[in-house]
Structure 1
Amino acid sequence: MKNNFKQFNLEPYLLEAISELNFKEPTEIQTEVITNIQSNRDIIAQSKTGSGKTHAFLLPLLNQLGQNANNVQVVITAPSRELAEQLYQATIQLTKNAPWDIEVSRFIGGTDKNRQIESLQNSQPDVVIGTPGRLFDLIQSNELRTNSAYAMVVDEADMTLDLGFIEEVDKIASTLQSNSQLLVFSATIPQKLQPFLQKYMNQPIRIEIENKEVISDLIDNWLISTKSKERTEVIYNLLTIGNPYLVLIFANTKENVEKLANQLIDRGLNVGILHGGLDSRERRRVMREIHNLDYQFIVATDLAARGIDIEGVSHVINAEVPQDLSYFVHRVGRTGRNKLPGIAITLYSPGEEDEIQIIENMGISFEEKTIKNNEIVDAPEKRTERKRPAKPLEYDAEIAGLAKKSKKKVKPGYRRKIRSKRKELNKQKSRQKRKQNKRKK
């Protein structure tokens, strides 16, 4: 059988929408997920960012929609407003050519709740997409009736757990019928998610698409030391060398995002700002302007690293090494998409070598660069020649505890304390090893 979307017996309007998106062949996760949803299986799916999982669940679920049902048929939860908006837009695109009216509604925090209640009193939508808090709020007040839904999707489940929304998702799932299909999509499956999965899923099939490379081989992954240079100056130089198409710059806190963005704006650059401190209306406006390419440069927190799809990102700059190092892959994965090349640049200061080493231990390699005569060139002196442990750092519970605390707001010198503690423990281990060798002799 030819490997295209016709093999799934999709409605003509869905095939038309796929053609408009220029999708030729289903991705690996799309083939696996669509087939199993059509077999009415509960699914736990893990796959990397950009694998096509959104359309993997939307296509088969929309294909099952009944006509003129006037009740909720599909419920989709997303942990952030931006992700919910993205899912909503994808669903609208797929259903716009349907021969009957498919009502798709989004319910997210920070929007007019009274207007949403008024709309629900007139009719119940076919597809409901929203953030867990607002969805459960409307369900609890009996305005939104989800007990008729034949399927529920929990998108970005690990992020939902991290942000503290799993309790609301649990309550939403409890309103569904026992034979409703539950589909969970997540980059990772943390242990704390297991009780929810065991409570609501009926012999789920696990789909895990192996990530063949940690980051795409289409991405040039560069590392630049700021040394004694002012970080904003380095970033400004990177943004003005050549002519990057669209640059996503990551900082660790909303305060740092605001500060860096304003410094770049003061230097005459066209910069957008995206972080969780913006109200709902402002965040929607910024996302709309980003998609309209009103900005060439966007400074963001990790809010933009998980799931949010910004097309055409040619460069990613890590203005700071992420506090949660697992976010490094998510950040860098914003570029090098749709078979287009990309460049990822990570800045680091003296004292952050250990964090870079941990990233390298994840299987990620860097090309070390520097800026010279307004050009990006190979660094003459490599960090690896100056400082690199002979082997990956061993796990130590005490060090891990200190490192975990260092991700929070701590007193100056805390990172130094971690390095000092690590050296002390390594010395102790060396002494113990020497004693053991002497005893053996």
Structure 2
Amino acid sequence: MSERTFQDFNLPSYLLKAVHAINFRQPTAIQERVIPDILNGRSVVGQSETGSGKTHAFLLPIFAKLDPQKQKVQAVITTPSRELAYQIYAAAKQLNKFAPTPLTIHNYVGGTDKQHQLAQLSRKQPQLVIGTPGRVLDLVKSQALDLHTATMFVVDEADMTLDMGFLAPVDQIASTFPDDLQMMVFSATIPQKLRPFLKKYMANPVVEEIRPQTIINPDVKNWLLSTKGQDKNQLIYRLLTMGEPYLALVFANTKKRVEELTHYLENQGLKVAMIHGGLEARRRKRTMRQIRNLDFQYIVATDLAARGIDIDGISLVINDDLPTDLEYFIHRVGRTGRNGMEGTAITLYAPGEDDLIAKLEERGIKFVPKELKRGRLVTTHDRNRRHKYRRRQASLDPSMKGFVKKTKKKVKPGYKKRIKRAIKDEEQEKRKLEVRHRIRKAKRVRQRQRRRERNRR
């Protein structure tokens, strides 16, 4: 943990009061790295995992730089989902409550009253704009929102912006800013397709990549459960009700599956919040408010919609299915086990999905295999045990196989011991070679990463 405090950043005193009010004691790694750069006017690319404190990493220095005496747009923040926009807006309003001269902050997202926003903008321009790319661009094209005075632009959740097809409107928004724009891009990952956009608008940014110490938070129990021969809806219901989760979040891959599972659970008597991109804006906003007020104990959501659910109390995550993009697995599991609290993530998989599980394991994710017996989850055998046994048998040298066959014959005891010792020596040598190969492979990976980082600079 960092030994620095927020006082070390020379932030205005009202911001120090604001962070104290929300129990922020020490800056997170991403906050420690980027806040000084943003305060110094540098453009930054901040890459860190979900839940690492990215929102306040850009909000705090932006608030420190905004001039309350200038009633014009000074900073713009775009984010790909309405839920995330509401979340950032709420965080900004919390900081603004402590400002000696409150700033004008407006939130513009799709599905809200555009005519009201146009009338509002005709009277006064906001000093800080937060919104989704489509609505912000719409207001710019209507010549209502004037962005040419802005000097700071944040693209939040850039990977999700790319995935949802919003990079083009973000590009159009960015083209309206002056040349001396300070741009801040924050993301959990930086996909290759995002790099041309970054190169276009960011000449020499500071790139800060905060790698998680472990792929999965050690406070999270990461369990794997086969659905073979079981009704998945019934299985999820039993998993949700066998304990008493403080707040449980079930991820499904499609809107249709979210609706199907929600209706099933409701028919079993559970009060369930349903979140997906196809919901009407007002209903989504109301549901998100109810979730934050803890009116629901169970939530069923798609990956993209769930990015706006940033609640520390989620104690259980269930993956109804493996995500189509395995990067989302980290985001899903990262919703639980926050702020030192323990959490449980249960991933359901079908027998035909062994290859996807293997790919996650290759990334360093470790699962504990479980099965449901008499209403309890018990640790079961490794799903790869047969394959490992076969590989071990197949790995024996032909000469060793000859020795093994000879042990079946009636020979002297000393001869059997020599055979066993020879087999053991052979296996040890193979293990040494495998370890050496893994070390060399890891070294090559680190060298490639260092080269990529040098190229970025």
Report the TM-score when normalising by structure 1.
0.86
Aligned ranges 1:109-120 → 2 under 5 Å: 109-120=110-121
In structure 1, the residue matched to 2:180 is: 179
In structure 2, the residue matched to 1:364 is: 365
In structure 1, the residue matched to 2:67 is: 66
Quick one: percent identity of the two aligned structures? 53
Q: Shift of residue 386 of structure 1?
A: 3.5
Q: Extract structure 1 runs of 4+ deviating beyond 6 A.
A: none
In structure 1, the residue matched to 2:414 is: none
In structure 2, the residue matched to 1:240 is: 241
Q: Deviations over 1:314-343 (max 9, x none)?
A: 000001111111111111000011111100
Structure 2 counterpart SS, 1:229:
coil
Amino acid across the alignment from 1:271 = V
Aligned ranges 1:161-200 → 2 under 5 Å: 161-200=162-201
Structure 2 counterpart SS, 1:363:
coil
Separation in structure 2 between the aligned mates of residue 242 and residue 140 of structure 1, nearest angstrom = 52
In structure 1, the residue matched to 2:273 is: 272
Structure 2 counterpart SS, 1:383:
coil
Aligned residues: 390
Aligned ranges 1:102-141 → 2 under 5 Å: 102-141=103-142
Amino acid across the alignment from 1:233 = Q
Q: Shift of residue 360 of structure 1?
A: 0.9
In structure 1, the residue matched to 2:205 is: 204
2:363 aligned with 1:355, yes or no? Answer: no
In structure 1, the residue matched to 2:330 is: 329
Separation in structure 2 between the aligned mates of residue 120 and residue 101 of structure 1, nearest angstrom = 18
Separation in structure 2 between the aligned mates of residue 261 and residue 126 of structure 1, nearest angstrom = 41
Q: Say if 1:249 and 1:317, in contact at 8 Å, map to a contact too.
A: yes
Distance 1:307 1:273, change over 3 A: closer
Aligned-residue CA RMSD (Å): 1.6
Q: Shift of residue 168 of structure 1?
A: 0.9
Q: Deviations over 1:21-61 (max 9, x none)?
A: 10111111101110101111111111111111110110011
Q: Deviations over 1:335-380 (max 9, x none)?
A: 011111100000112211111111111110111111111111112x
Q: Say if 1:271 and 1:298, in contact at 8 Å, map to a contact too.
A: yes
Q: Shift of residue 387 of structure 1?
A: 4.3
Structure 2 counterpart SS, 1:382:
coil
Q: Deviations over 1:182-219 (max 9, x none)?
A: 01111222222222212211311111112221110110
Q: Say if 2:314 and 2:336, in contact at 8 Å, map to a contact too.
A: yes
Q: Deviations over 1:89-119 (max 9, x none)?
A: 1101111121112111010011110000011
Distance 1:160 1:276, change over 3 A: same
Runs of 5+ in structure 2 lacking a partner?
393-457
Q: Say if 1:248 and 1:313, in contact at 8 Å, map to a contact too.
A: yes
In structure 1, the residue matched to 2:383 is: 383
Runs of 5+ in structure 1 lacking a partner?
392-441
Separation in structure 2 between the aligned mates of residue 184 and residue 22 of structure 1, nearest angstrom = 26
Structure 1 counterpart SS, 2:264:
helix
Q: Say if 2:77 and 2:153, in contact at 8 Å, map to a contact too.
A: yes
Structure 1 counterpart SS, 2:249:
strand
Q: Say if 1:3 and 1:26, in contact at 8 Å, map to a contact too.
A: yes
Q: Say if 1:257 and 1:273, in contact at 8 Å, map to a contact too.
A: yes
Distance 1:212 1:38, change over 3 A: same
Q: Shift of residue 390 of structure 1?
A: 5.7
Q: Deviations over 1:101-159 (max 9, x none)?
A: 21110100111100000111110011100011110111111100011112000001111
2:261 aligned with 1:260, yes or no? Answer: yes
Bigger shift: residues 181-190 or 292-301: 181-190
Separation in structure 2 between the aligned mates of residue 121 and residue 68 of structure 1, nearest angstrom = 19
Structure 1 counterpart SS, 2:134:
helix
Separation in structure 1 between the aligned mates of residue 297 and residue 328 of structure 2, nearest angstrom = 23
In structure 2, the residue matched to 1:228 is: 229
Structure 1 counterpart SS, 2:360:
helix
In structure 2, the residue matched to 1:149 is: 150
Separation in structure 2 between the aligned mates of residue 270 and residue 318 of structure 1, nearest angstrom = 19
Q: Say if 1:49 and 1:307, in contact at 8 Å, map to a contact too.
A: no
Bigger shift: residues 369-378 or 74-83: 369-378
Separation in structure 2 between the aligned mates of residue 194 and residue 36 of structure 1, nearest angstrom = 21
Q: Say if 1:305 and 1:327, in contact at 8 Å, map to a contact too.
A: no
Aligned ranges 1:405-416 → 2 under 5 Å: none
Separation in structure 1 between the aligned mates of residue 3 and residue 345 of structure 2, nearest angstrom = 37
Q: Say if 1:221 and 1:367, in contact at 8 Å, map to a contact too.
A: yes
Distance 1:390 1:202, change over 3 A: farther
2:115 aligned with 1:79, yes or no? Answer: no
In structure 2, the residue matched to 1:158 is: 159
Amino acid across the alignment from 2:298 = F
Separation in structure 2 between the aligned mates of residue 5 and residue 385 of structure 1, nearest angstrom = 51
Separation in structure 1 between the aligned mates of residue 309 and residue 73 of structure 2, nearest angstrom = 26
In structure 1, the residue matched to 2:449 is: none
Amino acid across the alignment from 1:17 = A
Q: Say if 1:314 and 1:336, in contact at 8 Å, map to a contact too.
A: yes
Structure 2 counterpart SS, 1:102:
coil
Structure 2 counterpart SS, 1:345:
strand
Separation in structure 2 between the aligned mates of residue 306 and residue 265 of structure 1, nearest angstrom = 23
Separation in structure 1 between the aligned mates of residue 382 and residue 195 of structure 2, nearest angstrom = 44
Separation in structure 1 between the aligned mates of residue 385 and residue 105 of structure 2, nearest angstrom = 57
Aligned ranges 1:24-103 → 2 under 5 Å: 24-103=25-104
Amino acid across the alignment from 1:6 = Q
